[in-house]
């Protein structure tokens, strides 16, 4: 992307949330900021729980013309009326998800810190590739995605790239010229005031 462009926002749900609390919280953020996409990223494998959460978030996002994708479970995406899927296994499931969901669905792929995996995902038909974490994290075995991978990607590859994981205001300012989207989740949802936390996070580029 060019240095005059501002990356778009891509919000990621908490891994666990209360159905009575999070949807209105999300709505409040969407009503104050332009957001391109929301990802339902529950940690549970309970299908009923996932479906109820998807229904609740779909009401919020689609009323505001914001895309909603689901983490991993592409078999549920079409049934639940979602816009696509975010795959967490790099390029491995991209072709399978694309075949299942069709050409119009969003298929994204998280590729950690691997440029090679990102290229494979793009060649397999991913609409976007995400790299991360971009900052320090307590997640075991999480290799940090360095700035260099975003700089190289933005210069060489046309497929949109998402920077996500352990973002702070400094990382946002640093990566803004090199990424198309910022994937923001726990950075704001762990705060008592997500709208204020998002404003602080984006203060360097807003």
pLDDT at 20: 96
pLDDT in tens, the chain (206 residues): 334 479 999 999 999 999 999 999 999 999 999 999 999 999 999 999 999 999 999 999 999 999 999 999 999 999 999 999 999 999 999 999 999 999 999 999 999 999 999 999 999 999 999 999 998 876 656 799 999 999 999 999 999 999 999 999 999 999 999 999 999 999 999 999 999 999 999 998 87
pLDDT at 139: 63
Architecture of domain 8-201: Alpha-Beta Barrel (3.20)
pLDDT at 141: 64
Domain boundaries in the chain?
8-201
What pLDDT is attached to residue 198? 98
- Annotate the chain with DSSP letters as a single string: --TTSPPEEEEE--SS--TTTHHHHHHHHHTTS--SEEEE--S---HHHHHHHHHHHHHHHHTTT-EEEEES-HHHHTTTT-SEEEESSTTTTHHHHHHHH-TTSEEEEE-TT-HHHHHHHHHHT-SEEEE---S---STT-----HHHHHHHHHH--S-EEEESS--HHHHHHHGGG-SEEEESHHHHTSS-HHHHHHHHTTTT-
């Amino acid at each position: 992307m060019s240095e005059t462009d501002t990356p778009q926002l891509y919000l990621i749900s908490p891994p666990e949330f209360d159905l009575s609390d999070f949807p209105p919280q999300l709505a409040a953020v969407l009503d104050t900021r332009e957001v391109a996409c929301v990802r339902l990223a529950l940690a549970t494998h309970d299908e009923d729980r996932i479906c109820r959460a998807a229904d609740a978030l779909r009401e919020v996002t689609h009323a505001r013309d914001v895309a909603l994708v689901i983490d991993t479970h592409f078999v549920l995406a079409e049934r639940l009326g979602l816009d696509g899927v975010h795959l967490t296994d790099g390029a491995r499931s991209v072709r399978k998800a694309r075949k299942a969901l069709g050409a119009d669905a969003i298929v994204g792929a998280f590729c950690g810190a691997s440029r090679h995996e990102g290229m494979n995902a793009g060649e397999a038909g991913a609409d976007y590739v995400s790299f991360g974490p971009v900052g320090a994290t307590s997640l075991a075995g999480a290799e940090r995605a360095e700035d260099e991978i975003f700089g190289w990607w933005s210069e060489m590859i046309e497929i949109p790239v998402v920077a996500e994981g352990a973002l702070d205001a400094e990382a946002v300012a640093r990566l803004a010229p090199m990424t198309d989207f910022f994937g923001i989740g726990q950075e704001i949802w762990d705060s008592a005031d997500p709208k204020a936390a998002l404003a602080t996070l984006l203060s360097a580029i807003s």
